[in-house]
Structure 1
Amino acid sequence: MTSLSILDLSPVPSGGTTGDALRNTLDLARRAEEFGYRRYWLAEHHFAPGVAGAAPAVLIALVAAATSTIRVGSGAVQLGHQTALAVVEQFGLIDALYPGRLDLGLGRSGRRGSEFAELAKRPPQPPGPARVVDGLLIPEPFSFAALAASPLLALYGSLLQQPGAESPDFADQVDDILALLAGTYRSAEGVAAHAVPGEGADVELWVLGSSGGQSAQVAGERGLPFAANYHVSPSTVLEAAEAYREAFKPSETLAEPHLIVSADVVVAEDDDTARELASPYGLWVRSIRTGAGAIPFPTPEEAAAHEWSEEDHALVADRVATQFAGSPRTVAERLRVLRDVTGADELLVTTITHDHADRVRSYELLAKEWAGG
């Protein structure tokens, strides 16, 4: 049976604090373990008043300490902001206390300023048409060109790196992490370096990606498991999965491709209640895509008070249309379609509601329905 896992952004609710969000994350992780979820991944976000997960390694250590059996990991460490050695040392330190439970998810998020500048210069491309593939909605692609041109985003990027620093190529960083974990790292001159802690750490390495680009290629060529983001970029999930499988080469880690696919879900006792709990989602996505950063997650009443323009609706249409909100049976059926169409070996679900109790209940209802199906 396809296993379910959780991606937690540690959302700050409207009227709440970062402390509230972190306490909610620890509580949800304990409950997720009770519900039978396989993995509990923490996201990395910066400059977002509505998301507390700015330091995933720190939060992973806290979650690992608060649980005992569930796998805990990053979804994903943004390698554009860190060195390979720093990442290996961080996760090696946690693994020393909680061996065999860590997933090190790596992502290209936090791309260098030159890449964003190039993206902003590209002429706008006509969007491809929305389509339905065996029951799964593949919406029109969203263009990040306007967001890439944001001066605020450029400032944030500069603050996350040392002045004048240049991030290495993503593939090179992944190779360095693999070598440091294995104890085989050598410089171009043949000098050995050993990460202590980190070398020999029993961590499971993952690559996360939103398209059929470099991330999918790197994961496939190195025989690593891959996570494709339907909840972030639903229009490109199929090309990401296909590119990964086409590039895959067997390794000591995997004999065949292993794919996890994410989805944004809200589950309640009935469809109407779930849709009401999920109603602030569009406003929250809007805050991200305008470049302002995720706002504290609104109440349904606060979301209903927002006056939507046509531009607002267009900005969030793909994400709202691909959120799975409904009763346990409704959401489980849609997740099975996602699994079947993408060929996912696992599913990674992320749920955000204003009230923590509703979020916990959503995961509980889904776990029970999935286990019974």
Structure 2
Amino acid sequence: MSDSNTVPLSVLDLAPISAGSDTATALRNAVDLAQHAERWGYRRYWLAEHHFVAVASSQPAVLAGQIAAATNHIHVGAAAVQLGFTTAIAALESFGILAALHPDRIDFGIGRSGQRRTEAQRERPREPRPPRPPREWQEIDGVVIPPPFDVRAVMSNARMKAATSVLTTPGVPAPDFADQVADILDMIEGSFAVDGVDVHAVPGEGSGLTPWVFGSSKGQSAQVAGARGLPFVASYHITPATALQAVEAYRAAFQPSAALAEPYVVISADVVVADDESTARRLAASYGHWVYSIRAQGGAVLYPDPQDCPPLSEEQAAVVKDRTATQFVGDPDQVAQRLSALQRLSGADELVITSVTHGHADRLRSHELLAQRWGL
């Protein structure tokens, strides 16, 4: 566990495509931001995996390779490869190539998000359960903990179902996440076998890669990361209601490994920083519209220009309230104070921030101001 004034900051990027722009520009902007982030002192630059939406990071390994080649020392990786949409060997080979080309700089992030979506969309009879009492909004040491968002409507969205059907093989269930992680670790160590036959991942075996497990709750991801002694990344920026529970579950399950003697926690936050609070709030004014498109319209739209966005209706605002209330918006001091509070509450060893604005220059400025205030 580290003190808030000493923990490193890293960047999580979706390569968002802004309204009025295009994919090529978003990708060039991602490379440009990574180069600036390296100069400003950020430790890592991670790419998220998203499909069939208005973000350009659908293949993190491909984009990570371009960014690693365009930078010198910043760690580059995935946040995270969705193992439910691929195989253990395909994921490891991709990052094994990157590790061979850029030694000691590649972070191999993995998650079960794709698997979880597939499971949630399967038709299965459910026993009726008594309704749970609603959880109250909390604020602990300045950190907002909202009630959990019900994702069932998102998972049942027709566009989401269509995307999942393309990303997975019909009728073939994804392997269990714990089994996939075990296979990856065996492949890296060179001890993987199928029906008694040794199988070697080339590239990948002996690469020195350590899987970083990403999770949003106290469920399987946190348990597997802890039991395997792997670093864990909790997504406060997506699931603020359950991220701290995920951290607790990870620490409770942790067993020392060759990778880690003690738990290592990274926690994420969504931020917009500007020279003054009013400017930051103006730049962040379209964030709720963007999140609403993800939750109610089947996927992220082109990132809206705040000048073109009417206020959300009360009904729309309620759908995204947990995310807008937990986005850190303000001047450098205000955002740094909230990040410090999140670090203290979670005991995180590192923070990773995602900062999205419609204009690329504003996005650069957000990262630059925070880096200066944090003392990177």
TM-score of the superposed pair, with normalisation by structure 1: 0.96
1:279 aligns with 2:299: no
Structure 2 residue identity aligned to 1:147? V
Q: CA RMSD in A?
A: 1.5
Q: Which runs of 5+ in 1 are unaligned?
A: none
Instruction: Name the residue aligned to 1:117.
Output: 122
Instruction: Name the residue aligned to 1:98.
Output: 102
Contact 2:290 2:300 in 1 (8 A): yes
Q: Which runs of 5+ in 2 are unaligned?
A: 1-5
CA distance in 2, matches of 1:73, 1:181: 17
SS at match of 1:227: strand
Instruction: Name the residue aligned to 1:36.
Output: 41
Instruction: Name the residue aligned to 2:365.
Output: 361
CA distance in 2, matches of 1:261, 1:174: 21
Output aligned runs, 1:15-164, within 5 Å: 15-48=20-53, 50-111=54-115, 113-117=118-122, 125-164=132-171
Structure 1 residue ranges, 4+ long, deviating more than 3 angstroms after superposition: 117-127
1:198 aligns with 2:204: yes
Out of 105-114 and 225-234, give the one that drifted further. 105-114
Contact 1:120 1:148 in 2 (8 A): no
- Distance 1:342-1:90 versus aligned 2 partners, 3 A rule: same
Partner of residue 345 from structure 1, selected from 342, 349, 372: 349
CA distance in 1, matches of 2:281, 2:223: 37
- Distance 1:119-1:41 versus aligned 2 partners, 3 A rule: farther
Contact 1:120 1:146 in 2 (8 A): no
Contact 2:192 2:200 in 1 (8 A): yes
SS at match of 1:280: helix
Output aligned runs, 1:323-334, within 5 Å: 323-334=327-338
Structure 1 residue identity aligned to 2:286? P
CA distance in 1, matches of 2:275, 2:180: 45
CA distance in 1, matches of 2:124, 2:43: 37
1:370 aligns with 2:374: yes
CA distance in 1, matches of 2:174, 2:230: 22
Contact 2:75 2:106 in 1 (8 A): yes
CA distance in 1, matches of 2:91, 2:256: 25
Instruction: Name the residue aligned to 1:234.
Output: 240
Deviation at 1:152, TM superposition (A): 2.3
Partner of residue 181 from structure 1, selected from 167, 185, 188: 188
1:50-71 superposed Cα distances (whole Å, 9 cap, x missing partner) = 2111111101101111101000
Report percent identity of matched pairs. 54
- Distance 1:129-1:312 versus aligned 2 partners, 3 A rule: same
- Distance 1:118-1:254 versus aligned 2 partners, 3 A rule: farther
CA distance in 1, matches of 2:270, 2:142: 17
Structure 1 residue identity aligned to 2:94? Q
Deviation at 1:118, TM superposition (A): 5.9
Deviation at 1:126, TM superposition (A): 4.7
- Distance 1:132-1:119 versus aligned 2 partners, 3 A rule: farther
Aligned residues: 368
Out of 115-124 and 172-181, give the one that drifted further. 115-124
